[in-house]
Chains A and B, each alone.
Chain A
């Protein structure tokens, strides 16, 4: 499609005409995202009778808006009660929750809303204009490159738990091994399933996440009367002041939002990678290049902005392979593909020529969804943040009850509630003894990905490990990985030399 201003405006106004679909979808999406266990994919499945009855354009805009909004909604409970609503929001607990503990819940929420919507907007606009180029990324990223990208995630394990590297590594590698539970992809041989058929397809991520974050946090929360500290001012009159402060904090870090949203966009394009990986990688990169890495984990604004922007940058990215080559990049885009195929829409390059209003409209709908989100959610920051002053005597039972059934929702196995409870107790033990639950979760997330890609690469090369260093892009990524590893040491040397020069 040849772009000119009139056509772009026409497309924008055409999509804007669907505001009546986008606004309710955004509200449902925020709600769904905030409830652990529910996500865009299973909500679209649950609402299939409604989705299939809609016109193709309406159903696509509905699904896309809902999808974007779940990414933002997942961050709300992550910040307020340390319970991520979606896997992509798990990294937001690292600095978001400490902010809430300090009584800065409202500022943290406002800041995360701005970072999330700006991140989503930037990624949507970038996708819209760079779509022909971005769609090629998937062709260049093969199993070898994926292994290196995953290794970035493993480095992050050590980085997160920098206070005690050995404990961080034990938690991370334990998670990687737990992620390897289930039948292998080639021979379907069961591995470490304890004889449970329910574990043959692997350890389900949602119950694990609910256990490690929600149940364990609830078990700890009972030691306090309320979530927020008493020192944190919760001024009832300051409805807008704290929200404004949060917006300013995000505005001062606009460049941080821009580059971390691009991390989300690029990782989103890679089929199989997703919001969980993108947000943790963005957090790690943000900390790695920060002048104050020691502040991360204590309620540092950059530590919240980075994962939120990346988490929302993933949305547009994950739709690129779907729209451009008809290959779903993740769970939700796979569900979208099924719905659209049912409605007779064939996704792929031809879609941009035959029905540009639909193909490009998807990304414009995303832009509009993020704009509507910002307008609807910001005024709610103050009211949402008041959850941190609700007595834990009421909050803890509600968190446990809703998250336990949330563990049941994705697969409808009662067994998954048992997994949530077991991981809840494990998470409690980890928290009490200084093992980072996020490191354990990253391991569980990355375990199957690394194994799948490593095996694919080794099978192609007949078991020769040299294949891992055989591609130009892969080697560039290796070099970047080594540089990232060495950067803290190099920076330390640089500071030492500068100090010596200064003293001289």
Chain B
């Protein structure tokens, strides 16, 4: 059988990530219901076993394709186009920071800071636009969610200041 060169092989490494995550979760789920009465474990045992079976089938199928030389374990499909990876990781880091600081800075200030930094990460360089869009969006969010709908979002210095004025 002809072996296609590595460039022509379909990159299937990324396709294995979700089944492996799913399989790991199924094992964890089954371990947590193993000692429970049947009413509490039946559904999980059945679904967990079914999921493990499906994952095994997928891994076997991928293994067979690897043996035939039609696929590779490359992660190319997942990581390309590469020029956006930095921005994507920057956004994820900013989201983690957003979740971490919102209880302290409150909704409006966190929203303003996140928007400003996220636009900067995505390539907006005009300072008036950065500040203008971030400030207007954060204030619209404040007016809609906190002033109008009274949504119980975390309060911080801006909410305290605006609350004392209005």
Chain A residues within CB distance 8 Å of chain B: 38, 43, 46-47, 166-167, 169-171, 173-174, 176-178, 180-181, 184, 186-187, 189-193, 215, 218-219, 222-223, 392-394, 396-398, 400-402, 404-405, 408-409, 412, 414, 417-418, 421, 424-426, 429-430, 432-435, 447, 450-451, 454-455, 458-459, 463
Contacts and interface: CB of A to CB of B under 8 A. Distances in A.
A46 B123 contact: no
Most buried by B among A187, A397, A408: A397
3 nearest CB pairs, A to B: A397-B118, A184-B40, A174-B22
A192 B22 CA distance: 13
A247 B36 CA distance: 55
B50 to A, nearest CB: 6
Chain B interface size, as a band, is 35 or more
16 contacts: A169-B54, A174-B51, A176-B47, A187-B39, A192-B44, A222-B122, A392-B122, A394-B119, A397-B114, A402-B141, A404-B98, A408-B102, A409-B151, A424-B95, A425-B92, A429-B18
A417 B97 CA distance: 11
Interface in B26-78: 26, 28-29, 32-33, 36-44, 47-48, 50-51, 54-55, 57-58, 61, 77-78
A222 B88 contact: yes
Interface of B: 14-15, 17-19, 21-22, 25-26, 28-29, 32-33, 36-44, 47-48, 50-51, 54-55, 57-58, 61, 77-78, 81, 84, 87-88, 91-92, 95-96, 98-99, 102-103, 107, 111, 114-115, 118-119, 122-124, 133, 137, 141, 145, 149-154
A166 B54 contact: yes
Contact of B43 (A46, A412, A454): A454
Nearest to B134: A397
Contacts of A408: 102, 153-154
A295 B106 CA distance: 46
Given A393-B123, A414-B99, A192 B29 contact: yes
Contact of A393 (B36, B81, B92, B122): B122
Given A170-B22, A191-B36, A222-B122, A394 B98 contact: no
A432 B15 CA distance: 9
A263 B107 CA distance: 40
Nearest to A455: B39
A167 B57 CA distance: 10
Nearest to B107: A405
Contact of A191 (B17, B32, B50): B32
